[in-house]
Structure 1
């Protein structure tokens, strides 16, 4: 990791916070939520988006590691109300439920 990328990683890590689905619903309604698979490094994904690393983002999307949040997942999150982790990389809000805490992947 270069100094610049490690600084961005640290900045994003500091901006990551736990959040409840209720607080994320307005972002979902606007289509601004991206789901990050529980096994992935949320901050690394945010860093790739912030750095406009199109190849890496495309690869993650093809692998299902990163995706637009689907209605079925939103319904599941509403029903279960798990604690989620989120970080903003404008115009997106990346959200993740930690591996082991999720019934849907």
Structure 2
């Protein structure tokens, strides 16, 4: 059996009077819906490093920090049905992080 692909998902908490979750609305052929920063880990890249890179790449260098790992899910990638491991992280953005990029 091949080694699983590694995917990471970030739940970024923004500090506000009422805490907010950083999400994007995706519209178009690549997907429709609301999601947070996510992506794959490169060869030899650990999940924590990958999630920080993904957030910086999708949001910009806002200086988020990893609070904790939330969960790990082993589920085949839908197309093609190859093994995949997804690690979900809770991250915190610093005070003053803008609402939109």
TM superposition score normalised by structure 1 = 0.31
The higher-RCO structure (CA 8 Å, 6+ apart) is 1
**Larger helix percent:** 1
